[in-house]
Structure 1
């Protein structure tokens, strides 16, 4: 006779779903600012990820660009 044993926490999740959303990890850009799913980001060839709001700062600080108005 085979018994179907399952941990009570697993049974609860199977019945009700997860209580809190599962977040794999929180991603941050090159300046440490948190990236949310709706943010526009740029990724460089070297793998840096930069929020659109930080792009001017990245160009100036990391690539020595001069920003002209």
Structure 2
């Protein structure tokens, strides 16, 4: 899960990666990532413009 900003800071150009999210759907994964981002303070104001999450499906080994 990657959080990207419209106007990122220099250290956020590649986005902020949230790992370890296990979900049944992309929308569920995005909901979990939104909670983590809010907890970290990344989605509260800040003048970074719009932000978006990108989810990618990962295969399970086994």
TM-score range for the pair, normalised by the shorter chain length: under 0.3
When the two structures are superposed, what TM-score results if normalisation uses the length of structure 2?
0.25
Select the structure with the greater relative contact order (CA < 8 A; seq sep ≥ 6): 2
Larger Rg: 1
From the two aligned structures, give the one with the greater strand fraction.
2
